[in-house]
Amino acid sequence: MTCWPVIDFHTHSLLSDGVLTPAELGRRVQVSGYAVLGLADHADPGTLPGLIETARASARALNGHMEGLTILPGVEITHVPPALIGDLVKKARDLGASHVVVHGETIVEPVRPGTNLAAIKAGADILAHPGLLTEEEAALAAEKGIYLELSARAGHSLANGLTAQLALRFGAALLVNSDGHAPGDWLTPERRRAVALGAGLDQTGYEALLAGAVRLAEVAQKRFDG
């Protein structure tokens, strides 16, 4: 069986509520088997520009000095009213975010109803921990090529089974992300596989998930380079 290096699009540094600088975060995940570290710190309309600028500066400075690891400067749009999500997704792309994550309707936080659908309609790259995902949302995510997250984070992971079930039924793409904030949160190849299979994927589905992560990483890298 091929051992795929870890690609994780959803991590947090001290640019938002994580505990590590991007440099220390990069070093710690580097030794955990990561090939791609996606920064996705929390942002709202006021913090988005500065956060993306700083994340891009960190990635530019560090890439090339962390053997085997690429850092991608994305963002997570978090607890924003659904009516604002479309404009923020576009703005994040215009500002140079490599990938745009939207904080979905997890069952353990008071996320506004309508957030999942707004994120999908806006064309965000990833809908994180979507909670009680609906059939309509899963079908639209499949149609628009939005990745649905299987979360390794406690609490958020409680709805992974539903997310996987609906994604498989409607043909939506899946990712496993850590949503890591502190040491001990990061994925390993073994933990990534356990999250995916524990959500109900078989080995074929898991390998499709891994291949999808590679494709999204290539898209995100082109955005960053461009």
The domain total for the chain is 1
Domain around 115: 6-225
- Other beta carbons less than 10 A from residue 107's beta carbon: 14
- Asked if residue 52 lies in contact with residue 73, where contact means CB atoms within 8 angstroms, the answer is yes
What does the pLDDT read at residue 2?
55
Task: Note the pLDDT tens digit of each residue in 186-205.
Answer: 999 999 999 999 999 999 99
144 belongs to a structural domain:
yes
The string over 204-221, giving b where at least 16 C-beta atoms fall within 10 Å of a residue's C-beta and e elsewhere, is: ebbeebbebbeebbeebb
Task: Note the pLDDT tens digit of each residue in 3-60.
Answer: 689 999 999 999 999 999 999 999 999 998 899 999 999 999 999 999 999 999 999 9
- Asked if residue 7 lies in contact with residue 149, where contact means CB atoms within 8 angstroms, the answer is no
- Asked if residue 77 lies in contact with residue 101, where contact means CB atoms within 8 angstroms, the answer is yes
The reported pTM is 0.97
101 belongs to a structural domain:
yes
Distance CA 62, CA 23 (A): 7
Q: At 213, which CATH number?
A: 3.20.20.140
Alpha-helical runs (H) found in 171-202: 189-198
